[in-house]
Amino acid sequence: MTTIKKKLLIFSECSIYGGSERLMKSIYDNNLILSEYEVYFAYSSYKLYRNSLLNEKLRFNNRKNFIGLRLNKIFLIRRYINANVTNKFFKFFFKVLINIIDFTLIPTIWNYLIFFKLLKNINPHIIHINNGGYPASSACNQLAHVLNFKKNIKVIYQINGEATVNYKFIYKINDFFVNKSVHHFFTHSKRNIMALEKRNLDISKFSTFPSFFYETQPQIIKKENLFYLCMVGFLSKRKGQIKLLEALVEIKKNNIEIYNKLHIDIIGDGDLRNEIVSFISNYNINDKVTLHGNKIDYLNYIANCDIFILPSQFDEDLPLVLLSALKLKKPIIASDFGGISEYLTNEFDSILIDHNSNNFSKDLANKIILLYNNYEFKEQISHNTEQTNIKFFSEYSYSNNLIKLYEN
């Protein structure tokens, strides 16, 4: 007699196919998960995201269960205005117009209707919502709101980035309805649970465990005789690209010989692009920095760098691109944030920098110089990343932890 599997629906919203999305692949393409559940993957349909997703090689033939949703993308319009409209009057005008449209609730109602239709068509037993932070994606939260009308569905809510503490009334309403529908939250670090507790989410519903995701095979490229630094992330103050560039300027000022040997590859796009371009031009470091924008093959840049850098400044937990660097055995220099410092050990598998330091850029410059000058130390750190990866980020433990959440 054939056992009827429970239906697991995973939902994720992101405009680019990055680390958080590869994390979802480790669920819908996981042998143990697929043996227990009939898995569906719904996502907000963006051209770049969809193309990247279709290019992914799956171990299992479940493409028919992939569902692209035409959700509203008003946040992308906001992001475009912030990044590209320089005239203050026009920027103000467009922002007011977007806020008026938002205030009508038409974009929200549109998403609610799409989610109700999705739930009716699939009729899932379990829903796994994947959010990059909190509150972060409005669509993730809107799906949680809708699930208050579907009490028979078990709701798992994953939070990958550090939560922001925001006490505006509208966010309190959001938190209330999310908290009400979700049976279990999980995130990567105890620090993030503390941040989420400040938003009055039910702390008894939370658990932490590290993630796992499959990696595609990167292409090794023959490079120039330079020392390559690599950073991958959304261009924003939070991610700290400017701090990395300030460190480069510091090296240029104090150690021109090492400066001449360096090159920085920055992968990603975002609101801070114009400011970063201006900084590069103002400090005349154009020949030492390449802004690549969003790249599907960002793993190639990590695989071919000498040091991977994560100079995050706030609202960070455990960036999933860090797992890529660990798998590729790259020496890592990172800020000592929540999940990063919970899983990495300073001077063993990484170099960690106090993110609250008033001299962060100088500290970063000194650590780059340290690894440049100490080949054996750099290689030892590189070797130890493999141990850390095996200890914390295994496929078996991750899938078992998920099944416990689904069935608990």
Residue 203 in domain: yes
pLDDT reported for residue 220: 66
Whether residue 1 is predicted with pLDDT greater than 60 in this model: the reply is no
Q: Are 23 and 12 in contact (CB under 8 A)?
A: no
Q: How far is CA 280 from CA 201, 243, 295, 334, in A?
A: 42, 12, 20, 22
- How many residues comprise the chain? 408
Q: What is the pLDDT confidence band of residue 176, given thresholds at 50, 70 and 90?
A: very high
Q: Are 364 and 244 in contact (CB under 8 A)?
A: yes
In a 10 Å sphere around its CB, with 0-12 CB exposed, 13-18 middle and 19+ buried, how is residue 66 labelled?
Answer: middle
Pairwise CA distance, residues 279 & 290, whole Å: 13
Pairwise CA distance, residues 250 & 246, whole Å: 6
Residues 253, 199 share a domain: no
Residue 186 in domain: yes
pLDDT reported for residue 288: 96
Residue 277 in domain: yes
Q: What residue type is assigned to position 182 of the chain? A: V
**CATH code at position 71:** 3.40.50.2000
pLDDT reported for residue 166: 66
pLDDT reported for residue 144: 97
Number of compact structural domains in the chain: 2
Q: Which two tokens stand for residue 76?
A: 């992308």
Residues 16-43: what's their mean pLDDT?
Answer: 86
Residue 251 in domain: yes
pLDDT reported for residue 215: 65
- Residue 322, domain extent: 227-392
Whether residue 7 is predicted with pLDDT greater than 90 in this model: the reply is yes
Residues 152, 249 share a domain: no
Residues 251, 108 share a domain: no
Residue 402 in domain: yes
Residues 402, 374 share a domain: no
- For 34-38, 43-47, 174-178, 215-219, which range has the lowest pLDDT when averaged over its residues? 215-219
Residues 87, 73 share a domain: yes
* pTM of model > 0.95: no
pLDDT reported for residue 287: 94
Residues 233, 208 share a domain: no
Residues 254-261: what's their mean pLDDT?
Answer: 95
- For 77-81, 152-156, 265-269, 280-284, which range has the lowest pLDDT when averaged over its residues? 77-81
pLDDT digits (tens, 9 = 90+) for 106-130: 889 999 999 999 999 999 999 999 9
Q: Are 64 and 40 in contact (CB under 8 A)?
A: no
Q: What is the pLDDT confidence band of residue 377, given thresholds at 50, 70 and 90?
A: very high
Residue 221 in domain: no
Residues 316, 207 share a domain: no
Q: Are 265 and 230 in contact (CB under 8 A)?
A: yes
Residue 24 in domain: yes
Residues 162, 16 share a domain: yes
Collapse the DSSP code of 233 into the 3-class scheme (helix H, G, I; strand E, B; otherwise coil) and give the result: coil
Terminus-to-terminus CA distance in the chain, angstroms? 26
Closest CA to 248 of 259, 237, 233: 259
User: What value does the mean pLDDT of the chain take?
Assistant: 87
pLDDT digits (tens, 9 = 90+) for 262-290: 999 999 998 899 999 999 999 999 999 99
Q: 221 in the Ramachandran plot: left (φ > 0), alpha (ψ -120 to 50) or beta?
A: beta
pLDDT reported for residue 363: 96
Residues 400, 368 share a domain: no
Residues 381, 250 share a domain: yes
Residue 181 in domain: yes
Residues 240, 165 share a domain: no
Residues 283, 203 share a domain: no
